[in-house]
Amino acid sequence: MTATFEVAAIVEDALLAAARRRLPAEVLGGAALTAAVVDRSRRYTSERERLAAPGGERASIADLAARALFFTVADAAKLHLPLAELASGALPAPPGFLAGPEVRVLDVGAGCGAMTLGLCTFLARSAARPRLVVTLVDRDGDALAIAADAIGAVARALGLEVAVTVRAGDVNAALPAGPYDLVVAGSVLNELAAPTTVTEAMIAALAPAGVAIIVEPALRTTTRALHAVRDALVTAGCAAVLAPCSRRAAPCPALADDRDWCHDHRPLTLPPRARQLAHVTGLRDGDLKLAYLTLCRPAAAPPPSQAWRVVSDPHASKGKLELTLCGAPGWVPARLLKRNRSAANRAVERARRGDLLVIEPTPTVDSPDLEASTTAVIAATSPHTFPG
């Protein structure tokens, strides 16, 4: 069963209330908001040369409304996937990750707070429910004000204790030294001229058992750039890769062909206002798409998983099912012929892009066929619904 992401109305309501206190009413709905959402989407996709320039003060105000009321809402659950993999044991995490009574968080390029809002809603379901001490860093002070307001409101509604500090400034400058248990960055690296340098600073700010999670748009260009950052960090020995790769070596197999990129997509349920915006703009097709990278200090890295990551949508044709796996050897095709279907390998038929499969014996490039005796298990996963 494919996990469904859900952003609850509490997140949307908090962001709208925060935006109402700071932005004019005319940009918070109707044609102005719709146009701003469409414009920002174009600047992120087909018109990236305009990414940093919404065009004048009025356009900047409308752009902030679009970020707060649509993109932050839609992105608020993206952090749940990498967090759930670590928390559930689907992939190994550094010992004690998020286990203490207090979690120190650095949100790099926080904007209107999507990553920290996602963290709050994730931890609200945790038995431990630790206190969060969060530092938000962004060059946009108005966005930070909305973020701090909304995070406070969501935390109170969820019964979480969250202390927020905002720091207005360029993330290319020196980041706070930490140490932090969790460093997050959402849709930030693709806007930077030197993303590897900033990522190295994020790793340097980690506590010994801390984790850094980077979430980027699932576009081919931005995702391949994230793969390149991964390889640079691994080659330099700056960081160990925890996810999405069960393979920790460089190079990333997705970079071998210019047409390839490794990303995930999951069903998405948005709250009412964002769902209506998605409908009128035609920007969402019911899926949440993301590329992500989970990192830690090399000394903190636990033994790698033996699981394979499914990096393609399974393709069923007459008499066979084919999918591409990524693991320690790189990308390997796997094929299950109809005559070899069995109870032991049934998990292969249930697998979807992004799942982790433990397969014995493992397939190889020269021997991709799975036999009836092949055993396959989908690695431990989080709950199939991610409330926001």
342 shares its domain with 217: no
- With CA atoms as reference, report the closest residue to 108 among 187, 37, 226, 2: 187
Q: How far is CA 4 from the centre of its chain?
A: 14
| pLDDT, position 260 | 94
For residue 67, the 8-state DSSP code is: I
97-149 per-position pLDDT tens digit? 888 899 999 999 999 999 999 999 999 988 778 999 999 999 999 999 999 99
28-68 per-position pLDDT tens digit? 999 999 999 999 999 888 888 787 767 778 889 999 999 99
298-345 per-position pLDDT tens digit? 999 999 888 999 999 899 998 999 999 999 999 999 999 999 999 999
CATH of the domain at 228: 3.40.50.150
Whether 32 maps to a domain, the answer reads no
3-state secondary structure of 42: helix
State the total domains in the chain: 2
Task: List, as one string, the DSSP characters of 196-221.
Answer: HHHHHHHHHTEEEEEEEEEEE---HH
| pLDDT, position 98 | 85
The CA angle 217-192-170, to the nearest 5 degrees, is: 115
Which pTM was predicted? Answer: 0.94
Kindly give, in sequence order, each residue whose CB lies less than 8 Å from that of residue 46, ignoring residues fewer than 6 positions away.
Answer: none
Burial of 11 per CB tally in 10 Å (0-12, 13-18, 19+): buried
320 shares its domain with 289: no
Kindly give, in sequence order, each residue whose CB lies less than 8 Å from that of residue 151, ignoring residues fewer than 6 positions away.
Answer: 14, 113, 116, 117, 120, 134, 162, 164
**Per-residue pLDDT averaged across 342-362, rounded?**
93
CATH of the domain at 338: 2.40.50
Out of 243, 266, 300, pick the residue that ends a domain.
300
328 shares its domain with 244: no
Whether 1 maps to a domain, the answer reads no
278 shares its domain with 323: no
Per 3-state DSSP, what percentage of the chain is helix, strand, and coil (rounded to 5)?
A: 35, 25, 40
Whether 56 maps to a domain, the answer reads no
Out of 300, 318, 334, pick the residue that ends a domain.
300
Out of 264, 281, 300, pick the residue that ends a domain.
300
Q: In angstroms, rounded to a whole number, what is the distance separating the alpha carbons of residues 202 and 162?
A: 21
- With CA atoms as reference, report the closest residue to 263 among 336, 210, 214, 296: 214
Instruction: Give the range of the structural domain holding residue 347, as residue numbers without chain letter.
Output: 308-386
The CA angle 11-14-15, to the nearest 5 degrees, is: 85
Phi, psi dihedral angles at 157 (to 5 degrees): -65, -30
Q: In angstroms, rounded to a whole number, what is the distance separating the alpha carbons of residues 79 and 314?
A: 25
